[in-house]
């Protein structure tokens, strides 16, 4: 008769295990998992550092348990929202660490805020998940494919497996989000995600797609940065589009430059450009949403149109101008 895991295992650990198995599945060949499981089970405390972090002088790093790192990832997600973890990247990293390089070439970056015990990951979510997925897979093998037993083994090993990570303490919370684009060894943090994070530092909820222009217009920002942040109105609608976030960011930036500053595609953004006058933010926000709808129609008619951000931005801007001219003519005729 199987034991109930509820009394034996921390709920967070069970949640970690289930997420890893359901999201990433088997990340390494079974023959390698069999050999790895033996090593892991014999000496969990030294297994990873001894075998996969021995090529570096890690005197400047701190050591954390795998459970601490998994919880740090959760803490980070609860504090701010990055783009989703990419399962294929996790699998590729697992292959790199355990088969190709036999080493973790770039350590995760962990931080905490002064007078706060919580740990946060600002770089290395994919690396942590790659290691944890291998451990979870080993636990499944050691448990002879019995999930409840596997979770119990995972719970014990997560508290024993130690991993070296870069660690430092921050003086304030505002620095937390700013550090993420700076630590991008595990993957490329694209401009669309950098500005997605930047908006959060300005108080915009990750799921919020309104009031963006109003918020950024109140900030002392470089015009280029203000334009890039306004383009997030496009990027936040990626779920409704066939286009990738970085494509929407590129197109949205060119349209935002026109709506915020009257600078058409190819024009220059300079420090002399003035902010929007009060009350104009809502108008620009509405036009950005209209521009996105126009873009959607153009892509629906011909998906290839979005291959050139400059050209498609000009098409959308021209249609916005045509709509505005038609509106003015209609108003004049009504008088």
- Between CA 298 and CA 306 the distance in angstroms is 8
Task: Pick the range with the lowest mean pLDDT from 21-30, 34-43, 57-66, 138-147.
Answer: 57-66
- Between CA 167 and CA 165 the distance in angstroms is 6
Task: Pick the range with the lowest mean pLDDT from 13-22, 200-209, 219-228, 307-316.
Answer: 200-209
* pLDDT value at residue 238: 84
More confident residue, 36 or 303: 36
Work out the pLDDT band at 86, boundaries 50, 70, 90. confident
Rounded average pLDDT over 90-111: 92
Rounded average pLDDT over 39-50: 94
Tell which residue, 45, 36, 161, 43, has the closest CA to residue 102.
36
H or E element, residue 169: strand 162-170
* pLDDT value at residue 42: 95
- What are the tens digits of pLDDT across the range 261-320? 888 887 777 666 666 666 688 888 999 999 999 999 999 888 888 889 999 999 999 999
Cα–Cα–Cα angle for 149, 150, 156, rounded to 5 degrees: 95
More confident residue, 289 or 194: 289
Are 98 and 146 in contact by the 8 Å Cβ rule? The answer is: no
Rounded average pLDDT over 22-35: 95
- Between CA 140 and CA 43 the distance in angstroms is 17
- Residue 310 to residues 156, 224, 247, Cα–Cα distance (Å): 55, 16, 11
Cα–Cα–Cα angle for 270, 271, 275, rounded to 5 degrees: 105
Q: At 8, list the tokens.
A: 């034996």
Residue 42: other Cβ atoms inside 10 A: 9
* pLDDT value at residue 244: 87
Q: Where are the domains of the chain?
A: 11-179, 191-334
Residues counted in the chain: 335
Task: Report residue 183: phi and psi, to 5°.
Answer: -110, 85
More confident residue, 332 or 289: 289
- Enter the pTM of the model: 0.69
End-to-end CA distance of the chain: 84
Residue 10 has pLDDT above 70, yes or no: no
């Amino acid at each position: 008769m199987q034991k109930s895991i509820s009394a034996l295992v921390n709920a967070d650990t069970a949640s970690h295990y289930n997420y890893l198995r359901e999201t990433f599945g088997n990340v390494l060949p079974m023959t390698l998992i069999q050999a790895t499981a033996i090593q892991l089970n014999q000496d969990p405390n030294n297994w990873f550092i001894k075998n996969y972090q021995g090529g570096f002088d890690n005197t400047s790093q701190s050591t954390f348990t795998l459970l601490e790192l998994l919880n740090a990832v959760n803490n980070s997600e609860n504090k701010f929202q990055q783009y989703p973890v990419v399962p294929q990247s996790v699998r590729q990293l697992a292959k790199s660490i355990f088969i190709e390089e036999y080493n973790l070439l770039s350590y995760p970056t962990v931080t905490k805020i002064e007078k706060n015990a919580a740990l946060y990951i600002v770089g290395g979510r994919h690396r942590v998940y790659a290691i944890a997925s291998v451990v979870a897979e080993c636990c499944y093998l050691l448990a002879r494919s019995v999930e409840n037993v596997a979770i119990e083994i995972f719970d014990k090993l997560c508290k024993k497996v130690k991993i070296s990570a870069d660690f430092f303490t921050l003086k304030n919370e505002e620095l937390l989000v700013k550090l993420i684009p700076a630590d991008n060894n595990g993957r490329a943090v694209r401009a669309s995600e950098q500005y997605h994070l930047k908006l959060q530092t300005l108080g915009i909820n990750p799921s919020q797609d309104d009031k963006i222009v109003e918020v950024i217009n109140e900030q002392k920002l470089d015009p280029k940065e203000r334009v890039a942040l306004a383009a997030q109105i496009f990027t936040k609608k990626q779920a409704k589009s066939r286009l990738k976030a970085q494509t929407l960011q590129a197109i949205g930036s060119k349209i935002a430059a026109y709506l915020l500053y009257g600078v058409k595609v190819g024009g220059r953004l300079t420090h002399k450009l003035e902010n929007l006058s009060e009350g104009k933010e809502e108008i620009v926000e509405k036009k950005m949403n209209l521009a996105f709808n126009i873009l959607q129609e153009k892509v629906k008619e011909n998906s290839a149109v979005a291959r050139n951000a400059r050209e498609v931005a000009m098409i959308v801007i021209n249609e916005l101008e045509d709509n505005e001219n038609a509106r003015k003519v209609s108003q004049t005729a009504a008088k």
